[in-house]
Amino acid sequence: PPKAKEVRIKILATGICRTDDHVMKGTWGTKFPVIVGHEAVGVVESIGEGVTTVKPGDKVIPLFVSQCRECKPCRHPNGNLCIMSDIMGRGVLADGTTRFTCKGKTVYHFLNTSTFSEYTVLDEIAVAKIDDAAPPEKVCLFGCAFSTGYGAAVKTGKVTPGSTCAVFGLGGVGLSVIMGCKSAGASRIIGIDLNKDKFEKAMAVGATECISPKDFTKPISEVLSEMTGDTVDYSFEVIGNLETMIEALKSCHMNYGTCVLVGAPPLAKMLTYDPKLLFLGRTWKGCVFGGWKSRDDVPKLVTDFMA
């Protein structure tokens, strides 16, 4: 059961994000044994002492980026990575313990959420109450993939009307970046993926064209430069691959381009790149959960979707 300031949720629907797969492959640091999953919709089943923002029966989205509203990132207008978020893999709730056991032994939480379970317990600061009418099998993606990708474009990248964007990686998050670029008024959106089977869906959600690196002998940054006359304003790396991170940085305009890293990077790997890539004026930005303040913004995103 939930302790003080905690909420127990019955999970209705959960998405499967590649970050869950990173845990399975050992490229994301966490404690084992663990219940993964972090993209879901559920109903509040019970609440602990002192919980005031949700009640039993509320439809909610678990938040892998919490919002305590008191720490420095929460109070800063541009901050969203609450210090209570468990990005580093502690595997426990705010009080330092877990709510899962199996045969009397401790099982750890993943990203404060652990949604691959019939029931899960979260800190109140990691729960967002949403519209009761929202369809769980769709808005579960607002717990990570959609919000992260869409926010990478409209909130972190701040894509401008009439601009040209390049999106590396056309999975669920990459498609959401494309939706964000389109919503922000980008006039040209180039999708990039090795798998051409993804191109039809990318075009359907807003890409103006798609290319595969397999079709070229030169680096994709050079291909994009030729295609656009050297005017990719925004590039997004939505894979978490060291080589494509550098290619995405090279792809945006050397003086005023912005590159946003959206894909989760591999554990304990270091990047080497020419510092002139930044010295000439480019901006390189990281992006956690699309830059959204989770408890404030997720309910608004769901309301926008319902409208």
Render each residue's pLDDT in the chain as its tens digit; 307 residues.
999 999 999 999 999 988 888 888 888 888 999 999 999 999 999 999 999 999 999 999 999 999 999 999 999 999 999 999 998 889 999 999 999 999 999 999 999 999 999 999 999 999 999 999 999 999 999 999 999 999 999 999 999 999 999 999 999 999 999 999 999 999 999 999 999 999 999 999 999 999 999 999 999 999 999 999 999 999 999 999 999 999 999 999 999 999 999 998 877 789 999 999 999 999 999 999 999 999 999 999 999 999 9
| Any domain includes 205 | yes
What span, in angstroms and rounded, lies between the C-alpha atoms of 81 and 78?
A: 10
What contacts 275, CB < 8 A, 6 or more positions away? none
Quick one: which of 186, 192, 257, 268 has its CA closest to 223?
192
- Tell me the pTM: 0.96
| Any domain includes 230 | yes
Please tell me whether residues 199 and 276 are part of one structural domain.
yes
What contacts 8, CB < 8 A, 6 or more positions away? 1, 2, 44, 45, 46, 47, 99, 119, 120, 121
Structure tokens, 268:
């304990």
Please tell me whether residues 269 and 207 are part of one structural domain.
yes
Are 8 and 120 in contact, with CB atoms under 8 Å apart? yes
Beta bridge partners of 259: 235, 284
CATH of the domain at 27: 3.90.180.10
Are 169 and 193 in contact, with CB atoms under 8 Å apart? yes
Please tell me whether residues 279 and 171 are part of one structural domain.
yes
Domain that holds residue 45: 6-145+291-306
Please tell me whether residues 71 and 172 are part of one structural domain.
no
Residue 183 CB-density burial (10 A; 0-12 exposed, 13-18 middle, 19+ buried): middle
Please tell me whether residues 81 and 173 are part of one structural domain.
no
Please tell me whether residues 95 and 182 are part of one structural domain.
no
Predicted confidence at residue 18, as pLDDT, reads 86
Please tell me whether residues 193 and 105 are part of one structural domain.
no
Structure tokens, 277:
């890539």
Q: Domain tally for the chain?
A: 2
Please tell me whether residues 10 and 141 are part of one structural domain.
yes
CATH of the domain at 247: 3.40.50.720
Predicted confidence at residue 21, as pLDDT, reads 87
